[in-house]
């Protein structure tokens, strides 16, 4: 059996990774994996257990107990932690504020990268995987790698609209704080992977971004 086709979509917060990856998966009948949801679900489970997310040693000690299950249907992605559907609470402000330090802990990354590779191997025809280190660490051999960027002000405005917040300045500050931690951490920082095609979605519609990625996939499939 051939290895599944992997489409890696990386980029900073709010650049459009989830929407683009789901759109591409739908257009090409591929599976979809949101690795950010896994880091968020891990963070949720640690907070539930009373672990201080900035205490790297405690985080590493408890992380192994957490059982995550990711559903890969782009029309209805799911994420469970310890048997609980956490799709809603992982988007809340407590998890958003705590996820960057948790995802900077090398042991957490080792655990989750292992699980992500298992999901990729189990994907039939192929899978669109989105996150920060997919093209650089999780699937460096992916034949299609996209680095999606957008102007921070546009990213914050989109995210604030999505969250129903009228405080775009606060959203921008939170997003820039997370960008800074995610890009400067020692373990798998957000970088443009070797061979990744950069797409700037600031002035493109979601459909245009999806079409560009679909075209990249069709090129490698020819």
Ligand X SMILES: Nc1ncnc2c1ncn2[C@@H]1O[C@H](COP(=O)(O)OP(=O)(O)O)[C@@H](O)[C@H]1O
Ligand Y SMILES: Nc1ccn([C@H]2C[C@H](O)[C@@H](COP(=O)(O)OP(=O)(O)O)O2)c(=O)n1
Binding-site ranges for ligand Y (CB under 6 A): 13-14, 35-37, 39-40, 99-100, 103, 131-133, 178, 182
12 assigned to a ligand binding site: yes
- What is the closest distance, in whole angstroms, from the C-beta atom of residue 94 to ligand Y in the complex? 13
- What is the closest distance, in whole angstroms, from the C-beta atom of residue 149 to ligand Y in the complex? 12
* From ligand Y, ligand X, none, interface partner of 133 (C-beta below 5 to 8 A by class): ligand Y
Q: What's the CA gap between 116 and 155, in Å, rounded?
A: 26
Binding ligand X by CB under 6 A: which of 15, 35, 96, 188? 15
Going by C-alpha positions, the residue among 41, 14, 35, 219 that lies closest to residue 127 is: 35
16 assigned to a ligand binding site: yes
Name 122's Cβ contacts closer than 8 Å, sequence gap at least 6. none
Q: Does 145 bind ligand X (CB under 6 A)?
A: no
Going by C-alpha positions, the residue among 140, 59, 70, 69 that lies closest to residue 107 is: 59
Cβ-based nearer residue to ligand Y, 28 or 35: 35
Sequential DSSP letters for 170-192: HHHHHHHHHHHHHHH-SSS---P
Phi, psi of 33, deg, nearest 5: -130, 125
214's enclosing H/E stretch is helix 206-221
Cβ-based nearer residue to ligand X, 149 or 187: 149
Binding ligand X by CB under 6 A: which of 5, 8, 10, 17? 17
Going by C-alpha positions, the residue among 72, 76, 52 that lies closest to residue 62 is: 52
* From ligand Y, ligand X, none, interface partner of 35 (C-beta below 5 to 8 A by class): ligand Y
135 assigned to a ligand binding site: no
Q: How many CB atoms lie within 10 A of CB 102?
A: 25
* From ligand X, ligand Y, none, interface partner of 135 (C-beta below 5 to 8 A by class): none
* From ligand Y, ligand X, none, interface partner of 33 (C-beta below 5 to 8 A by class): none
Binding residues for ATP: 11-19
């Amino acid at each position: 059996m051939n290895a599944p086709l992997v489409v890696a979509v990386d980029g900073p917060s709010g650049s459009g990774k989830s929407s683009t990856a789901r759109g591409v998966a739908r257009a090409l009948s591929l599976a979809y994996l949101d690795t950010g949801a896994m880091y968020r679900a891990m963070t949720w489970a640690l907070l539930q257990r009373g672990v201080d997310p900035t205490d790297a040693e405690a985080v590493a000690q408890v992380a192994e107990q957490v059982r995550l299950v990711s559903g890969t249907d782009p029309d209805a992605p799911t994420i469970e932690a310890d048997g609980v559907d956490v799709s809603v609470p992982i988007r809340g402000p407590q998890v958003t504020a705590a996820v960057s330090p948790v995802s900077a802990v090398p042991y957490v990354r080792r655990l989750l990268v292992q699980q992500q590779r298992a999901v990729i191997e189990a994907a039939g025809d192929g899978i669109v995987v989105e996150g920060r280190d997919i093209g650089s660490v999780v699937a460096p051999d992916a034949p299609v790698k996209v680095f999606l960027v957008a102007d921070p002000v546009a990213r914050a405005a989109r995210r604030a609209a999505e969250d129903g917040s009228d405080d775009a300045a606060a959203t921008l500050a939170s997003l820039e704080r997370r960008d800074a931690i995610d890009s400067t951490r020692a373990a798998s920082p957000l970088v443009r992977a070797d061979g990744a095609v950069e797409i700037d979605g600031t002035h493109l519609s979601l459909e245009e971004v999806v079409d560009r990625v679909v075209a990249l996939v069709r090129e490698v499939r020819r």
